């Protein structure tokens, strides 16, 4: 984990209220895995004081070397400030933090499920899995079409299934139904989204009585991002306490809800 200050290469609204920032990939972040995150310090000086936890979104080859992206919804002062960064502006980040997704070796069929901005780390995971020659189906859910990551930005090999609550794109409803259909097909599943989505997915896993591994990437409320403040504590049903920033954000879905 290191603190780095980077110059923004590109900043754009990608869709709906969702923004993308491209930055040069520093040596310190070269080993970052899909599902790991950074704390991004927004604003001038110490206001706001606390960083925003943002997943590594994806990487690309830029004109001067590797670049990485952060994808985020504009939901408050910090993310509004971030979205107004322009090419050449500086941004301080601390990372890579947390435990990312852990795809099993020697399995082929990968099911990725994202709710809302939960798509952010799944795109980088899909990039990686496709590069490795695995089959990837990505299920994305949102309230409406405006919240769905553009299909044109995904690797062509990814099969995309969309579910929207208002039926404005894909099938009407939530990601739970396509997850239920595809769970028997996959060798391993990965999910990122709100807690209500994880509870619904766990309901499917429980009733289907499958032993398929499902990794959940939690979106915790994080103040420090490094195991000091306990703002991100979660309480698995079996008991005990886990810190999203330190023990996760990736957990086995069953460890949280079973
Ligand atoms: S964010 Fe401070 S302990 Fe996790």
Q: Is the CB of 227 under 6 A from ligand 1?
A: yes
Comparing CA positions, the residue from 212, 209, 169 lying closest to residue 189 is 212
Other C-beta atoms within 10 Å of 236: how many? 15
| Ligand 1 pocket, mutate which of 40, 218, 230 (most atoms under 8 A from CB) | 230
Distance CA 139, CA 96 (A): 26
Cα–ligand 1 centroid distance for 230 (angstroms):
5
Q: Residue 257: what pLDDT?
A: 87
Q: Is the CB of 225 under 6 A from ligand 1?
A: yes
Distance CA 221, CA 164 (A): 25
Cα–ligand 1 centroid distance for 51 (angstroms):
11
Q: Is the pLDDT of residue 37 over 70?
A: yes
Q: Is the CB of 228 under 6 A from ligand 1?
A: yes
Q: What's the chain look like in SS3?
A: CEEEEEECCEEEEEECCEEEEEEECCHHHCCCCECEEEEEECCCCCCCCCCEEEECCEEEEECCEEEEEEEEECCCHHHHHHHCCCCCCEEEEEEEECECCCCCCCCCEEEEEEEHHHHHHHHHHHHHHHHCCCEEEEEEEECCHHHCCCHHHCCCCCEEEEEECCCCCCEECCCHHHHHHHCCCCCEEEEECCHHHHHHHHHHHHHHCCCCCEEEECCCCCCCCCCCCCCCEECCCCCCCEEHHHHCEEEEHHHHHC
- Calculate the average pLDDT of the chain: 95
Atom of ligand 1 nearest to the CA of 228: 3
Q: Is the CB of 249 under 6 A from ligand 1?
A: no
pLDDT band for position 6 (cuts 50, 70, 90): very high
Atom of ligand 1 nearest to the CA of 225: 1
CB 253 within 8 A of CB 201: yes
Cα–ligand 1 centroid distance for 148 (angstroms):
29
Q: Is the CB of 142 under 6 A from ligand 1?
A: no
- Side-chain half-sphere exposure of 251, counting CA atoms within 13 A: 25
Over the stretch 189-220, which tens digit does the pLDDT of each residue have?
A: 999 999 999 999 999 999 998 899 999 999 87
Q: Is the CB of 250 under 6 A from ligand 1?
A: no
Distance CA 147, CA 163 (A): 11
Cα–ligand 1 centroid distance for 228 (angstroms):
5
Domains of the chain: 2-97 (2.40.30.10), 109-257 (3.40.50.80)
Atom of ligand 1 nearest to the CA of 232: 4
Q: What is the mean pLDDT of residues 134-149?
A: 98
Q: What is the mean pLDDT of residues 115-120?
A: 97
Over the stretch 52-105, which tens digit does the pLDDT of each residue have?
A: 999 999 999 999 999 999 999 999 888 999 999 999 999 999 999 999 999 999
| Ligand 1 pocket, mutate which of 38, 98, 243, 248 (most atoms under 8 A from CB) | 243
Q: Is the CB of 233 under 6 A from ligand 1?
A: no
Query: pTM for the complete prediction?
Result: 0.95
Distance CA 32, CA 20 (A): 18
């Amino acid at each position: 984990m290191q603190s780095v200050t980077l110059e923004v290469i590109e900043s754009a609204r990608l869709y709906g209220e969702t923004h993308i920032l491209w930055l040069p990939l520093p040596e310190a972040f070269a080993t970052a895995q899909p599902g790991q995150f950074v704390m991004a310090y927004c604003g001038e000086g110490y206001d706001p004081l606390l960083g925003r936890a943002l997943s590594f979104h994806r990487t690309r080859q830029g004109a001067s070397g590797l670049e990485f992206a952060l994808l985020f919804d504009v939901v408050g002062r910090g993310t509004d400030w971030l979205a107004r960064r322009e090419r050449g502006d500086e941004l301080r980040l601390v990372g890579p933090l947390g435990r990312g997704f852990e795809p099993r070796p020697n399995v082929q069929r990968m099911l990725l499920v994202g709710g809302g901005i939960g798509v952010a780390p799944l795109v980088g995971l899909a990039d990686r899995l496709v590069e490795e020659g695995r089959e990837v189906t990505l299920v994305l859910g949102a309230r409406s079409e405006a919240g769905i990551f553009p299909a044109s930005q995904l690797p062509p090999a990814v099969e995309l299934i969309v579910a929207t609550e208002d039926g404005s794109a894909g099938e009407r409803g939530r990601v739970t139904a396509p997850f239920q259909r595809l769970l028997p097909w996959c060798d391993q599943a990965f999910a990122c989204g709100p807690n209500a989505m994880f509870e619904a997915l766990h309901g499917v896993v429980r009733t289907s009585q499958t032993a398929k591994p499902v990794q959940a990437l939690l979106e915790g409320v994080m103040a420090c991002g490094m195991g000091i403040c306990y703002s991100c504590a979660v309480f698995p049903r079996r008991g005990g306490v886990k810190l999203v920033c330190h023990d996760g954000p990736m957990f086995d879905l069953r460890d949280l809800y079973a």
